[in-house]
Structure 1
Amino acid sequence: MTKILIIYTGGTIGMVNDPKTGVLIPFDFKQIQQNVPELARLNYDLDVYSFDPILDSSNMDPLIWADLAKLIQEKYEEFDGFVILHGSDTMSFTASALSFMLENLSKPIVLTGSQLPIGEIRTDAKENLITALEIAATKKQGKAMVPEVCIYFDYQLFRGNRSIKYNSEKFEAFRSPNYPILAEAGVNLSFYKNYISRQPVEPLKVHTNFNANIGVLKLYPGISAQAVYAITKSGVDAIVLETFGSGNTTTAAWFIESLREAIASNKLIIDITQCQRGSVALGKYETSKQLQQMGIISGYDMTFEATVTKLMYLMGQGYSNAEIARFMEQSIRGELTA
Structure 2
Amino acid sequence: MPRVLLLHTGGTLGMAGGRPSALRPAAFFKTLKARVPELFQLADIELQLFSNLDSSEMQPELWQRMATHLHQQLPQFDGAVVTHGTDTLAYTASALSLMLRNPPCPVVLTGSQRPLGEVRSDARLNLIDAVLSALEGPREVTICFDSHLYRGNRARKVKVAEYDAFDSPNCPVLGTLGVDATFEPGLRSKGPFRLFEKLDSRVLLLKVYPGLDPALPLQLLPHVRGLILEAYGAGNFPIDPELGRSFMPLFTQAKERGVPVVVVSQAHRNGVDLSLYESGAAALAQGVMGGADMTPSAALVKLMQGLAYHPRSPEALARFIQTPVAGELTVGRPTVEPPARGRRGSTRRTKAE
Q: TM-score range by the shorter chain?
A: over 0.9
Establish whether residue 13 from structure 1 lines up as the match of residue 5 from structure 2. Answer: no
Establish whether residue 229 from structure 1 lines up as the match of residue 218 from structure 2. Answer: yes
Which residue of the other structure, out of 165, 184, 207, is the alignment partner of 2:196?
207
Q: Distance in 1 between matches of 2:232 and 2:255?
A: 20
TM-score, with length taken from structure 2: 0.88
- Asked if the contact 1:106/1:198 (under 8 Å) is kept, the reply is no
Gaps of 5+ in 1: 139-144
Percent of aligned pairs sharing the same letter: 37
Specify the alignment match of 2:36 in structure 1: 36
Range with bigger deviation, 72-81 or 172-181: 72-81
Establish whether residue 198 from structure 1 lines up as the match of residue 188 from structure 2. Answer: yes
Q: Distance in 1 between matches of 2:293 and 2:214?
A: 27
Q: Tell me the SS of whatever aligns to 1:9.
A: strand
For 2:228, give the aligned amino acid: V
Q: Distance in 2 between matches of 1:77 and 1:192?
A: 22
1:307 to partner: Cα distance: 0.2
1:18 to partner: Cα distance: 7.2
Q: Tell me the SS of whatever aligns to 2:247.
A: helix
1:100 to partner: Cα distance: 0.6
Specify the alignment match of 1:329 in structure 2: 322
Establish whether residue 80 from structure 1 lines up as the match of residue 78 from structure 2. Answer: yes
- Asked if the contact 1:242/1:274 (under 8 Å) is kept, the reply is yes
Q: Deviations over 1:161-219 (max 9, x none)?
A: 001111111001101011100000111001133xx11222x431111111000112211
In the TM superposition, 1:110-189 aligns within 5 A as: 110-138=108-136, 145-189=137-181
Gaps of 5+ in 2: 332-353
Q: Deviations over 1:239-272 (max 9, x none)?
A: 1111111001111235312211111111000011
Q: Tell me the SS of whatever aligns to 2:222.
A: coil
Range with bigger deviation, 249-258 or 163-172: 249-258
Q: Distance in 2 between matches of 1:234 and 1:177?
A: 35
Note closer, same or farther for the CA distance 1:284–1:230 as it changes in structure 2 (3 Å cut). Answer: same
Q: Distance in 1 between matches of 2:18 and 2:108?
A: 29
Specify the alignment match of 2:69 in structure 1: 71
Q: CA RMSD in A?
A: 1.6
Which residue of the other structure, out of 276, 300, 306, is the alignment partner of 1:308?
300
Q: Distance in 1 between matches of 2:329 and 2:258?
A: 25
- Asked if the contact 1:246/1:280 (under 8 Å) is kept, the reply is yes
For 1:301, give the aligned amino acid: D
Q: Deviations over 1:9-36 (max 9, x none)?
A: 11111111179x8121122222221111
Establish whether residue 239 from structure 1 lines up as the match of residue 227 from structure 2. Answer: yes
Range with bigger deviation, 282-291 or 218-227: 218-227
Q: Deviations over 1:95-132 (max 9, x none)?
A: 00001101122310000010011111111001000111
- Asked if the contact 1:15/1:24 (under 8 Å) is kept, the reply is yes
Specify the alignment match of 1:219 in structure 2: 208
Q: Distance in 2 between matches of 1:225 and 1:251?
A: 10
Q: Distance in 1 between matches of 2:214 and 2:249?
A: 11
Specify the alignment match of 1:277 in structure 2: 269
- Asked if the contact 1:216/1:239 (under 8 Å) is kept, the reply is yes
TM-score, with length taken from structure 1: 0.92
